[in-house]
Amino acid sequence: MAKRQLRLGAFMRPVSIHTGAWRYPGAWPDANFNFGHIKRLIQKLEAGKFDAFFMADHLAVLNMPINALKRSHTVTSFEPFTLLSALAGATEHIGLIATGSTTFDEPYHVARRFASLDHISGGRAGWNIVTTSNPDAALNFGLEDHMEHAERYRRAREFYDVVTGLWDSFADDAFVRDVEAGLYFDPDGQLPPIPETNASKSGRQRLVDAAARDKLTVRQLAQRVGGYGGLAFVGTPRVIADQMEEWLTGYGCDGFNIMFPFLPAGLDDFVDKVVPELQKRGIFRNEYEGKTLRQNLGLPRPKNRFFGA
């Protein structure tokens, strides 16, 4: 029986999520705005056979105290679609997942951007659906108040239906481009569907509960979660591979979206040391299965709601 295969994504913004990673010895302080550095990172990830480069995004400067903000390299970064479209030309297989808000855009805008990225990349685009929790984002869009939480999620459900409906609105063979007949497209026509990732969920209440349960001070809470912490694997490549394999074989997960503690060394170490250990165990690919993100994830293409196969 074939072993379950691990899926690996790189959680980038577009580089390390840790707020102080830019100060680590050997790190690239300007990496968030240095295309050459980012291109080198994604090419290394592709050499390591990662499924996807996932770019988080914010529509406003992070709402944290200025004395903390001025020390953080996560304050801002490139616009996701511009960056990922450029990276598409520097890669061939790795998925390109962008964050797209359902609160401050219209469905047509999002549908068009993702369809364009999908065509440019040859079927490698993915959508991380978020509703945007930062209330300061509303001010950047000429609004005085942020949309209430429940309303944002009601809008998101409808938004998703509209976007995917727009992708289904052209049949695969709509663009006939018949030079002799002068017919460029058949008006019965579809743009390729884009894989969906998990919707954004707020962790604020979890932090409040953790602080109350463990009687944490503000400093202690910041030390615990200041690096966007979650499940952490620490140890030798073999130890880390052991932990990842345990989660996979115990059906605790299908894979991991990895946040590297610092760059480029943290990413290089994982690709050069942990990935070969996973491959040796037969739980991670040695080569990509296909060209598109769906093919590499082993996902079937959804049925078009308007046109038959």
pLDDT 10s digits, 206-215: 667 777 788 8
SS3 state at 295: helix
* Residue 108: inside a domain: yes
Q: Is pLDDT at 194 greater than 50 in this prediction?
A: no
**How sure is the predictor about 74, in pLDDT bands with cuts at 50, 70 and 90?**
confident
Strands 52-55 and 255-258: unpaired
**Separation between Cα atoms, residue 23 and residue 74, nearest integer Å:** 12
**Separation between Cα atoms, residue 50 and residue 84, nearest integer Å:** 16
Q: Which of 82-96, 166-180, 185-199 is predicted least confidently? A: 185-199
For residue 180, what are the domain limits?
A: 7-202+234-241+256-297
* Residue 213: inside a domain: no
**Separation between Cα atoms, residue 86 and residue 156, nearest integer Å:** 28
Q: Is pLDDT at 277 greater than 70 in this prediction?
A: yes
DSSP for 30-87, written as a single string: TGGG-HHHHHHHHHHHHHTT-SEEEE---SS---S-HHHHTT-TTS----HHHHHHHH
* Residue 228: inside a domain: no
What H or E segment, with its residue span, contains residue 11? strand 7-12
Asked whether the beta carbons of 249 and 4 are under 8 A apart, the reply is yes
Task: Give me the pLDDT at residue 198, please.
Answer: 39
Higher pLDDT pick, 205 / 258: 258
CATH number at residue 31: 3.20.20.30
Pair of tokens at residue 7: 């899926």
What H or E segment, with its residue span, contains residue 137? helix 137-140
DSSP for 216-268, written as a single string: --HHHHHHHHTT---S---S-HHHHHHHHHHHHHTTS-SEEEE--SSTTHHHH
Q: What is the mean pLDDT of residues 74-94?
A: 92
Q: Within its chain, how far is the Cα of 66 from the centroid? A: 27
What is the number of domains present in the chain?
Answer: 1
* Residue 193: inside a domain: yes
* Residue 150: inside a domain: yes
Residue 24 DSSP code: S
* Residue 96: inside a domain: yes
Pair of tokens at residue 186: 């058949």
* Residue 209: inside a domain: no
**Separation between Cα atoms, residue 23 and residue 197, nearest integer Å:** 31
* Residue 180: inside a domain: yes
SS3 state at 130: strand
Say how many Å lie between the first and final Cα of the chain, rounded.
Answer: 32
Task: Give me the pLDDT at residue 307, please.
Answer: 81
**Residue 44 Cα distances to 169, 195, 208, 236, 284, angstroms:** 37, 23, 38, 20, 16
Asked whether the beta carbons of 263 and 26 are under 8 A apart, the reply is no
Instruction: Residue count of the chain, please give it.
Output: 309
**Separation between Cα atoms, residue 273 and residue 265, nearest integer Å:** 11
